């Protein structure tokens, strides 16, 4: 293998740049040319492919976002789109891919490999942490720190006014951000899509806190919770229990930005190196992760089924600590 491509796809996450840097430098170390495919699968289709040298990835390890941009491609979901993408790669002479992203990214890479035989290794880059086969995804730690910092500030004002806050965090179908940051901020309740939410039970919890003279309550809500988003949950609670002055805060895309934490920079660097080494060893169709501090490879198929990953112990801990 002499030429490989790297791209960042799906929702961006802090640390993607560190991963791109690691891929480029590991390629160069192994006498391989590395090409940045801009705007993910859309750029692959359009042939927006450019050689990356060592200097191109200087000074980016600390930067949030992704210098080669990201996208969610509708065109790549079509056969014609993938054919064009293959033709672009052929023209550029690219023989293998490092795909940095989440489940949509890996689903695309898997189909592409089956149709055109282009080998690829996935690097988990998403703030959601919703991939099986790695303890943490790149960006998750930074996003958690962003949420904790923001909610600490909310707590200050919530306590001053005896208010009940519903704080919505990202995670369309995964509660990792809500659960871990909720524990980190001492939330009174944490609502995640993986477990059913009962409004009456939630009200009992809030009520109990009020009886114990708690001066505020923070309810962390994953955006994809089965009871609805934070505004909907707040409305349902307010209909039955109106003792607190209630506010809703949606943290939104602030969670996706910012300079990556030290943990994310190191994780991204390890995974970027391991991805290129895996391609050179002839591996394909797998995501590289870190499990128990060791590099691990998981087939795409398995990596995207994250649902048995939410930590039962953390759920139990959250329940104990919120009493
Ligand atoms: O997958 C990452 C993520 O940030 C999710 O948590 C969120 O639901 C989604 O992307 C938001 O996507 P967009 O930036 O396209 O609105």
ipTM for the predicted complex comes to: 0.97
Q: Write the residue with the smallest CA distance to atom 1 of ligand 1.
A: 11
Residue range 4-8: mean pLDDT, rounded: 98
- pLDDT confidence band for 244 (50 / 70 / 90): confident
Measured distance CA(47)–CA(75) in Å, rounded: 14
Å from CA of 132 to ligand 1 middle: 18
State whether the beta carbon of 139 lies less than 6 angstroms from ligand 1: no
**Hey, how many other C-beta atoms are within 10 angstroms of the C-beta on 275?**
31
**Token code pair at residue 181:** 């940051």
Residue range 128-155: mean pLDDT, rounded: 97
- pLDDT tens track for 42-58: 999 999 999 999 999 99
State whether the beta carbon of 128 lies less than 6 angstroms from ligand 1: yes
State whether the beta carbon of 14 lies less than 6 angstroms from ligand 1: no
Atom of ligand 1 nearest to the CA of 172: 8
pTM above 0.90, yes or no: yes
Residue 81: is its pLDDT beyond 80? yes
Lowest mean pLDDT among 50-54, 63-67, 136-140, 319-323: 319-323
Half-sphere exposure of 318 (CA within 13 A, CB side): 26
Contact 19, 289 (CB under 8 A): no
Contact 189, 322 (CB under 8 A): yes
Residue 148: is its pLDDT beyond 80? yes
Look at residue 242 in the predicted model and tell me its pLDDT: 82
Atom of ligand 1 nearest to the CA of 255: 4
Residue range 10-34: mean pLDDT, rounded: 98
Residue 186: is its pLDDT beyond 90? yes
The DSSP annotation for 262-306 comes to HHHHHHHHHHHHHHHHHHHTT--SEEEEEETTEEEEEEHHHHT--
Residue range 231-238: mean pLDDT, rounded: 97
Start-to-end Cα distance in the chain: 57
Q: Which helix (H) or strand (E) holds 80?
A: helix 79-92
Atom of ligand 1 nearest to the CA of 102: 1
Q: Which of 307, 300, 305, 269 is nearest to 286 (CA)?
A: 300
CB-count burial class (<10 Å; 0-12, 13-18, 19+) for 214:
middle
Atom of ligand 1 nearest to the CA of 174: 6
Q: Residue 214, annotated ligand binder?
A: yes
**Token code pair at residue 220:** 């962390």
Residue 307: is its pLDDT beyond 80? no
Look at residue 74 in the predicted model and tell me its pLDDT: 97
- pLDDT tens track for 310-321: 889 999 999 999
Place of tokens 């899509």: 193
Å from CA of 9 to ligand 1 middle: 12
Q: Residue 253, annotated ligand binder?
A: yes
CB-count burial class (<10 Å; 0-12, 13-18, 19+) for 222:
buried
Å from CA of 130 to ligand 1 middle: 12
Q: Residue 254, annotated ligand binder?
A: yes
- % pLDDT > 70, the chain: 100
Q: Which domains does the chain have, with CATH numbers?
A: 3-139+260-305 (3.40.50.450), 142-256 (3.40.50.460)
Residue range 236-240: mean pLDDT, rounded: 94
Å from CA of 12 to ligand 1 middle: 8
The DSSP annotation for 207-256 comes to HHHHHTT-S-EEEEEETT-TT-SHHHHHHHHHHH---SEEEEEE-GGGGG
Q: Write the residue with the smallest CA distance to atom 13 of ligand 1.
A: 11
Residue range 22-41: mean pLDDT, rounded: 98
Residue range 139-145: mean pLDDT, rounded: 98
Residue range 169-175: mean pLDDT, rounded: 94
Residue range 269-280: mean pLDDT, rounded: 98
Measured distance CA(267)–CA(153) in Å, rounded: 28
Q: Which of 130, 142, 172, 250 maximizes ligand 1 atoms within 8 Å of its Cβ, making it the mutation to test the pocket?
A: 172
Q: Which of 280, 284, 313, 307 is nearest to 297 (CA)?
A: 284
Q: Which residues are catalytic?
A: 128
Edge-to-edge strand list for the sheet holding 294-299: 49-52, 33-37, 3-8, 96-101, 120-124, 286-291, 294-299
Lowest mean pLDDT among 1-5, 148-152, 220-224, 237-241: 237-241
């Amino acid at each position: 293998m002499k030429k490989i491509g790297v791209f960042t796809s799906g929702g961006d996450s802090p640390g993607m740049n560190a991963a791109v840097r690691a891929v480029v430098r590991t390629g160069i170390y192994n006498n391989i040319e590395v090409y940045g495919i801009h705007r993910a699968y859309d750029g692959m289709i359009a042939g927006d492919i450019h050689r990356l040298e060592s200097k191109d990835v200087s000074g980016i390890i600390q930067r949030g976002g992704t210098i080669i941009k990201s996208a969610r491609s509708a065109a790549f979901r079509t056969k014609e789109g993938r054919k064009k993408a293959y033709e672009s790669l052929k023209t550029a002479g690219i023989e293998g891919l490092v795909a940095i992203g989440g489940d949509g990214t890996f689903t695309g890479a898997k189909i592409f490999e089956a149709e055109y035989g282009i080998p690829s290794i996935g690097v988990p880059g998403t703030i959601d942490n919703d991939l099986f086969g790695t303890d943490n995804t790149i960006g998750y730690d930074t996003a958690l720190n962003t949420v904790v910092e923001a909610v600490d500030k909310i707590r200050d004002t919530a306590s001053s006014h005896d208010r009940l806050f519903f704080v919505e965090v990202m995670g369309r179908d995964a509660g990792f951000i809500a659960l871990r940051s909720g524990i980190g901020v001492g939330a009174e309740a944490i609502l995640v899509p993986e477990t059913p939410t009962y409004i009456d039970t939630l009200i009992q919890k809030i009520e109990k806190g009020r009886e114990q003279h708690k001066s505020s309550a923070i309810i962390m809500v994953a955006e994809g919770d089965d009871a609805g988003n934070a505004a909907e949950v707040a409305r349902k609670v307010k209909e039955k229990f109106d003792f607190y002055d209630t506010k809703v805060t949606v943290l939104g895309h602030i969670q996706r930005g910012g300079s990556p934490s030290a943990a994310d920079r190191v994780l991204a660097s390890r995974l970027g190196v391991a991805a290129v080494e895996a391609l050179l060893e002839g591996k394909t169709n797998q995501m590289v992760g870190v499990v128990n501090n060791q590099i691990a490879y998981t087939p795409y198929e398995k990596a995207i089924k994250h649902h048995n990953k939410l930590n039962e112990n953390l759920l139990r801990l959250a329940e104990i600590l919120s009493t």
